[in-house]
Amino acid sequence: MDINPEGECILNKSLIKGEQVLQSMELLQVKNWMTPNPYCITQGETLKKVAEKMDDLRVESLPVVDKNMHLLGMITLRKLLYLLLHGSNSESIVQSTLTRNFASISPADSILDVFTLPYDQLPVLDEYGVLVGILTRRDILDGFSKYIYRLEQRQNSAEALNIILDSAYEGIAFVDENGILQEFNNAYSRFTGIKREDAIGRHVTEVIDNTNLHITVKTGIPERGVIQNIQGQDMVVHRIPIWRNGKVTGAIGMLIFEGVTEVYKIHERLQEDHRKERSQKESLTLIKEGDSRITIDQIIGTSEEVLNVKRIARRAARTAATVLITGESGTGKEMFAKSIHHLSPFSTGPFISVNCGAIPEQLFESELFGYEEGAFTGAKKGGKPGKFELAQNGTIFLDELGEMPLMMQTKLLRVLQEREVERVGGVKKYHINARIIGATNRDLKEMVDKGTFREDLFYRLNIIQLHIPSLRERKNDIPSLISFYLKEVCEKYDVPYKSLTSEAVSAFMNHPWKGNIREMVNTIERLVTLVEGETIDVQHLSKIFMNGIEQEHVLTKTGTFLSEAKMLGDKREKELVQNALTRAGGNKSKAAEILGIHRTTLYQKLKKYGIH
């Protein structure tokens, strides 16, 4: 299930109600409460042996079976006493001595249907007539107790959810896939002056001014921190789509502040605090690279994979330990490096980035360590500091470590061990006080095994490893990434804001993205610049989606994605309908009640799936 974390608290009530009813029906099935592999009597055992077993087990009846565990009948304590007192002609259990006045049940039966049967013990038979269990009155009572407890817990959870929604400072509204309001909390009600009961069931555009929630449902694109004029006042709102089984089933709208004026007040307070801090001492962060001020919170992603990486990055940033960032090209390794620098004790120093794969081998040493005047022909007068010197009291980011020549690996190892560098042609060593963050898209361990990367350098770099997941591993973040970069690219080229249809977003989510976020941003840039109109649909992807792949292949692949998603949804719905009919014993009215839908809707689904 793909649901934005902020939207998990509100779901499509009718479907959830149907699933909850089915779960309750499964809980009440006999197989969950019976005693499996029960004690039983085999045909031919003596009356005395039967009496001793009943006395040991303290039971008043036992099932009698043949050698294949097929039920022959029940022997009761009353019947046994009668046979012993009246001197039976046979010492063993025979067919004529068995009680026939009993009822058998199946494992799939509900204890709701069998608890009225006038027997203390009920034999449970499978479809082949084999005895698989015994259900007693005590078992039935235990089942009912558990069922009642579940109902109470569900009721408490529902009440807690309602309290949370109604107590929330933010206004919260939830619409279904058709834009119809399904939830409207007290905060929203107070602001708009429209009662909750009057709002629910109406189209969102009839209740909330200038809303785009019904558009969010169609596009599947989240919008965060946008301005919306409601009741003549500018408001800051979030619009969050809810994905379920690969389809947008609704959207949540949230009012974050009372109005834009409150945002301005917060901004003014921050500005004032910043002015006071700057007057006390000059900030050293001004000498950093302008784009190095990236925080972990600015990295887009709420999937568990990304949140886990963020947690590790925050812990790593508190120390001065060397960090090795791994991951495919285009996953954002440098962004994580900058965010670690921002949170580290070296944040007031510079952030110096070095692409080890872009420096010619003969210039590698002079670039990293610098050179003195006259060190070689063409050397700059006065010499030149290297990257390590420039990163003093800050962070040096060594990207593409796997491309570093073996000779330079040896020299880098010495720097890491001694924390000192010496310029080319120089005699004086400089102490290095800089944090080192390395990054690579290659498997350094495999390179060590092949002898192309020094093992001692690998272990020196690999103190804290941070692996950035590929975009294929964090598909739930794709809609948020699309929303951010779509807005950014539109502003960059000064073009009207464009949006994607939900089908196009679904195709994006199913694309392999071998180039990861970098490939996605390039794709969005091409779409924004080449697609005319304000809406980007699936047919536009066939022309731009993937370089080097034929248009017909793209159309086929995109169609396959959508077809597979629809097929999986239909399969699940068919299973639910069939399961409900089975539980209802073929009664269509009862099955419709179990599913939480109208009987007419059920008949339509029966016709759709050919269920008779």
pLDDT given at position 337: 92
Among candidate residues 431, 415, 469, 436, the one with its CA nearest the CA of residue 340:
436
Secondary structure of residue 488 in the 3-state scheme: helix
Q: Assign 285 a pLDDT band (cuts: 50, 70, 90).
A: very low
To which H or E segment does residue 396 belong?
Answer: strand 395-399
Tokens of 598: 């109208």
pLDDT given at position 17: 47
CA distances from 371 to 374, 423, 498 (A): 9, 5, 51
Q: What are φ and ψ of residue 426, in 5° steps?
A: -100, 170
pLDDT(2) > 50 = no
**Ordered alpha helix ranges (H), 28-88:** 47-57, 77-85
Q: Assign 468 a pLDDT band (cuts: 50, 70, 90).
A: very high
pLDDT given at position 87: 61
Query: Taking the model in full, what pTM does it have?
Result: 0.53
pLDDT tens column, 488-504: 899 888 888 888 888 88
Among candidate residues 346, 332, 365, 280, the one with its CA nearest the CA of residue 470:
332
pLDDT given at position 438: 93
pLDDT given at position 262: 53
Rounded to the nearest 5 degrees, what angle is found at the Cα of 505, between the Cα atoms of 501 and 508? 140
CB-based burial label for 2 (10 Å; 0-12, 13-18, 19+): middle
pLDDT given at position 549: 40
Rounded mean pLDDT of the chain?
A: 78
Contact in structure between 334 and 387 (CB atoms under 8 Å) = no
- Top-confidence residue, 576 or 458: 458
Name every residue whose Cβ is closer than 8 Å to that of residue 79 and which is 6 or more positions away in sequence: 97, 99
For residues 417 and 432, give the distance between their C-alpha atoms in angstroms, rounded to a whole number: 11
Q: Assign 379 a pLDDT band (cuts: 50, 70, 90).
A: low
pLDDT tens column, 7-36: 444 444 444 444 455 555 677 888 888 888
For residues 104 and 63, give the distance between their C-alpha atoms in angstroms, rounded to a whole number: 11
pLDDT given at position 3: 42
Q: Assign 203 a pLDDT band (cuts: 50, 70, 90).
A: very high
What are the structural domains of the chain? 33-136 (3.10.580.10), 150-261 (3.30.450.20), 287-469 (3.40.50.300), 472-547 (1.10.8.60), 560-609 (1.10.10)
pLDDT given at position 453: 92
